[in-house]
Amino acid sequence: MKILLIGNSKTVFAKELQSELVERGRDVSLLDFEYLDLYDKNGDKNDTFSKEFLKYKSIPKLHMFFRMMFIQKIIRKMNFEVINIHIARWYYLLILKTLKSRNLIVSFYGSDFYRISGMAKKLLSPLLKRAKTITFTNEKTMKSFLQYNFGLKSKVKVCRFGLKTLDFIDKNRNRSKIDIKKELGYSTSKIIVTCGYNSTPAQQHEKIIENIIKLPQDILGNIQFIFPMTYGDNANREKIKSVLLKTNLDYIVLEDFLYSDKNANIKLASDIMINILVTDSFSGSMQEFLYANNIVITGSWLPYDVFDNEGIVYEKIDSAEKLADKLEDILVNLQSYKTNLDKNIDIISKLSSWKYNISNWIEALN
């Protein structure tokens, strides 16, 4: 049975899912939605289709039509029997006839569902009705979905993504924190505060910066701020870099995509992580920081009920404007806030390691 995952090959979710399924004997390929590079079960890249598509990609208004025609061509030519769409878009209606004759699984990550309008949700209805299974990363998002789609209750399923980075955090956990900081080019003497985890506007970097510059100078002098911007929105990344240039903060912007040990080490080197996304579902990056014993500050408006129910230790603020006060209190009482962080390790492992989550995906894709 040939399985095709259609998603973003630059992020870990689809890549790790492919790897875990292949490890368990499945024939799984990954198609990058943006560029149409096709990665086979061995990770080898086929750029035949992406090269063909390149001449159509810049055509105003019609590029998405051509993208979908190429996706249809790939599905047919390569004889894929199971199609797993990561992040549903109405454009897939253009190839619905082809999708109808395959086993179709649609996977929502969370923010991709919350951020689209009610009209966009309705446009997805024909696609979702044809799906065999519709997956979500947590129960709360699944319940929100069912408020819009009452007739699809029998199709929905929670399938969480495992986090391979947890394995690399375990591998490096006992290393000297100073050595890890040196390796990354971080300050070895300052407290490390990580701000967000990608370069999208939804991370609210500007609000984070507005708040941290309010901190007293004697506190700011002891902090280095890290802005991971290795993927997301390039224009926003450049904008935030310009904003940071006008401050006196000690900061580093991470721009190169991070894999395996290095991705784990930015979590282990960090002391505090700020995550005040506009919307989210089941933040993988935040869990990795928690697993690496960070004090995490996040918004109370985010749907992290599963974390609360499991007893995870983290800090909440009711609005972005409360960030400065919360951060100052943590920095003044750092050791007190670090108490009980170790309990997060076992909880996160059970929630998000692949060994506990892959069976649900295998069931959904069969």
Section 60-79 average pLDDT? 96
On whether residue 361 sits in a domain, the answer given is no
**Which tokens belong to 274?**
């700020």
Out of 139, 159, 179, a domain closes at 159
* Residues 129 and 10 both lie in one domain: yes
pTM across the whole model: 0.74
Among 163, 121, 127, smallest CA distance to 141 is for: 121
* pLDDT(148) > 90: no
**At 354, which amino acid appears?**
W
On whether residue 240 sits in a domain, the answer given is yes
* Residues 33 and 85 both lie in one domain: yes
* Residues 85 and 173 both lie in one domain: no
Section 324-337 average pLDDT? 97
CA 218 vs CA 162, 207, 213, 271, 323: distances in Å: 40, 21, 12, 18, 18
On whether residue 282 sits in a domain, the answer given is yes
Minimum mean pLDDT among 67-71, 139-143, 334-338, 352-356: which range? 139-143
Tens of pLDDT, residue by residue over 281-323, are: 677 899 999 999 999 999 999 988 889 999 999 999 999 999 9
Out of 159, 184, 213, a domain closes at 159
* Residues 344 and 302 both lie in one domain: yes
Section 103-118 average pLDDT? 87
* Residues 172 and 86 both lie in one domain: no
Q: Domain range for residue 26?
A: 2-159
**Which tokens belong to 185?**
């080019």
How many domains is the chain built from?
A: 2
Q: What is the pLDDT of residue 48?
A: 96
* pLDDT(149) > 80: no
* Residues 190 and 230 both lie in one domain: yes
Which residue blocks in the chain are alpha helix, DSSP H? 12-23, 48-57, 63-77, 96-100, 111-114, 118-123, 125-130, 139-148, 165-172, 177-184, 205-212, 217-220, 234-245, 260-268, 284-291, 305-310, 323-332, 334-338, 343-352, 354-365
Inter-residue contact 291 to 206 (CB < 8 Å):
no
Would you place residue 141 in the very low, low, confident or very high pLDDT band (cuts 50, 70, 90)?
Answer: confident
Q: What is the pLDDT of residue 139?
A: 86
Would you place residue 181 in the very low, low, confident or very high pLDDT band (cuts 50, 70, 90)?
Answer: very high
Out of 159, 179, 211, a domain closes at 159
Q: What is the CATH number of the domain that holds 120?
A: 3.40.50.2000
Give the DSSP H/E element, type plus range, for residue 195: strand 191-195
Phi, psi of 196, deg, nearest 5: 75, -170
